[in-house]
Structure 1
Amino acid sequence: MSWFTEFPQLDRYQLLSIRKTLDEGFREFTRSYGDAIEHFFDPLLVFLIGFEKLLLASPWWLVIGVILSITHFAARSVRLTIGVAIALILIGVFGMWEDTMRTLSMITVCTLLSIVVGVPVGIAMSRSNRAQSIITPILDVMQTMPAFVYLIPVVMLLGIGRIPGVIAVVIYAIPPVIRLTNLGIRLVDEDVLEAADAYGVTPWQRLWNVQLPLAMPNIMAGVNQTIMMALAMVVIASMIGVKGLGQPVLQSITNQYFTQGLLNGLAIVVIAIIFDRVSQAYAKRSQQQFRGRDD
Structure 2
Amino acid sequence: MADSSWLTEFPDMSRRELLTIRKTLDGLYRDFSREYGDTIESLFDPLLQFLIWFEDLLISTPWWLVLGVIIAVVYGATRSWKLSTGVLVSMLLIGYFGMWEDTMRTLSIITVCTLLSIILGIPIGILMSRSDKAQSVMTPLLDIMQTMPAFVYLIPVVMLLGIGKIPGVIAVVIYAIPPVIRLTNLGIRLVSRETLEAATAYGATPTQRLFGVQLPLAMPTIMAGINQTIMMALAMVVIASMIGVKGLGQPVLKSITNQYFTLGLLNGLAIVALAIMFDRVSQSYAKRSQRHLEGRDHG
Equivalent in the alignment of 1:116: 119
2:209 is equivalent to residue 218 of structure 1: no
Q: 2:248 aligns with which of 245, 250, 255?
A: 245
Are 2:44 and 1:41 aligned?
yes
* Aligned counterparts of 1:59 and 1:187: Cα–Cα separation in 2: 46
Whole-angstrom CA distance in 2 between matches of 1:262 and 1:67? 24
CA–CA distance in structure 1, aligned partners of residues 4 and 102 of structure 2 = 58
- 1:89-136 deviations in whole A, cap 9, x for unaligned? 010001110000000000000000000000000000001100000000
- Counterpart residue identity of residue 149, structure 1: V
1:1-295 correspondence runs (5 A): 1-2=3-4, 9=11, 10-295=13-298
Structure 2 CA distance for partners of 1:45 and 1:7, relative to 1, 3 Å = farther
In structure 2, what is the Cα distance between the partners aligned to 1:3 and 1:219? 59
Q: Structure 2 unaligned runs (5+)?
A: none
The one-letter code of the counterpart of 2:31 is: E
Structure 1 residue 11 displacement after superposition:
3.5
Shift of residue 149, structure 1, vs aligned partner: 0.4
Change (3 A) 1:270 1:3: farther
Q: Which amino acid aligns with 2:152?
A: V
Mean Cα deviation higher: 6-15 or 84-93: 6-15
Partner of 1:11, secondary structure, is helix
For 1:35 and 1:27, the matched residues in 2 are separated by 13
Task: State how far apart, in whole Å, the 2-side matches of 1:15 and 1:191 are.
Answer: 55
Is there any run of 5+ residues in structure 1 with no aligned partner, and where? none
Q: What one-letter code is carried by the residue in structure 2 that aligns with 1:47?
A: F
How far does residue 13 in structure 1 lie from its aligned partner after superposition? 2.7
**What TM-score, normalized by structure 2, do the two folds share?**
0.95
Give the distance between the partners of 1:217 and 1:3, measured in 2 at CA.
Answer: 63
Deviations 1:237-265 (A, max 9, x none): 10000000000000010011111111111
Q: What's the secondary structure of 1:284's corresponding residue?
A: helix
**Number of residue equivalences:** 295
Equivalent-residue separation in structure 2 for 1:4 and 1:214 (angstroms) = 63
Task: Tell me, yes or no, if the aligned pair for 2:220 and 2:289 is still in contact at 8 Å.
Answer: no
Distance 1:3 1:57 in 2: 72
Aligned counterparts of 2:66 and 2:183: Cα–Cα separation in 1? 31
Identity %: 73
- Stretch deviating more after TM superposition (14-23 or 143-152): 14-23
1 CA distance for matches of 2:5 and 2:239?
42
Comparing 187-196 and 217-226, the one that deviates more: 187-196
Q: Distance in 2 between the 1:3 and 1:290 partners?
A: 72
Structure 1 CA distance, aligned partners of 2:146 and 2:204?
37
Shift of 1:12: 3.1
8 Å contact kept, 1:123–1:182: yes
Cα distance in structure 2, aligned partners of 1:32 and 1:14: 27
Give TM-score, length-normalised by structure 1.
0.97
**Cα offset, 1:14, TM superposition:** 2.2
> Which moved further from structure 2: 162-171 or 274-283?
274-283
Q: Is the 8 A contact 1:213 1:287 kept in 2?
A: no
Aligned residues: CA RMSD: 1.5
